[in-house]
Structure 1
């Protein structure tokens, strides 16, 4: 059952509120792992924020566990497969994941949605000692807000292994907080501050 149908909109529980960033979690039917959501306002142009998330070279700064990120198969500028390898703390085995990424912009509201969905059997195959993540969805929602952007990231991911759900849930709370803090800093700095992806319309230029 899709997470959007499995939970009610008012089931979010505030876990963290610091530095202008809020982190919330909620239970999802069929999962022992909680869905997690982070939100913050970023004082940067919409294209700059999109450019950070779209850049494989920035993934290790957005997510500290990412050791490598590359595009494996590109259908278009807004649809491609993104491979990432993640370092995990000892004694947990490293993970990797291949996400199908889709970037969409609403032509009226200019809201950008970036959706990553894990692919089970995509190449490359996991290396020795690496565990493939096969159940994971991450959604960025970027809403223009005056001279900035309201950024929200929602994650639901199973690391695929004998890790207690309570441990995963407690460790996950810091993930969107750190992602949004890094996104804020990167979007305000070169080269992203001046970036203008061709597939994104900037409402500020209208």
Structure 2
């Protein structure tokens, strides 16, 4: 096991989904990794993640998600609003999303990075300014896709320790579970994504 892998601490192993966390230097908040294998197509998973109307189903904290601007086939700007549990103030975040596919492995890497200075802040919401999430979708030899989702977010304000721990395990596990179930019951099964090729 290399040093990078050793830094991860397994938090949950349930229903074929692994949730691990590791500390991030200079941050009070842990990086989260969720992984599983999904029986389906890479294009189907990308299409679901690109469907903004699906994000509130993937994560109950997200109240709405919208595509603000499609910059080109591989880049876009996305706006998410989040209903935080009381007494924490609700959050919102503007992401720059990129999609890249490796020509040899056909792995798709979908990366969201928080943007600042573009969208005016809204009353009653705290703007998240430091957040990165990355999805790696790697086709396997069994005809499925190995999915890894790594995310690190500074919520821009203090959160109770119990809530931080819950956000690190419960919601990511549920998100991956909802995603896998949707793909495996055939949602987006015929989806075609212009910049994604199947192996």
**Range of TM-score over shorter length:** over 0.9
Q: Deviations over 1:17-40 (max 9, x none)?
A: 000000000111101111110000
The alignment status of 1:131 with 2:87, answered yes or no, reads: no
Q: CA deviation at 1:191?
A: 4.2
1:85 to 35, 58, 81: 81
Contact 1:110 1:201 in 2 (8 A): yes
Matches within 5 A, 1:1-206: 8-123=4-119, 125-145=120-140, 146-165=142-161, 167-203=163-199
Aligned length: 196
Separation in structure 2 between the aligned mates of residue 14 and residue 173 of structure 1, nearest angstrom: 10
Deviations along 1:98-120, one digit per CA (max 9) or x if unpaired, are 00000000011100000000012
Q: 1:111 touches 1:141 (CA, 8 Å); kept in 2?
A: yes
Distance in 1 between residues matched to 2:144 and 2:4, nearest whole Å: 29
- 5+ residue gaps, structure 2, are none
**2:30–2:168 CA contact under 8 A, matched in 1:** no
Unaligned runs of 5+ residues in structure 1 are 1-6
CA RMSD of aligned residues (A): 1.5
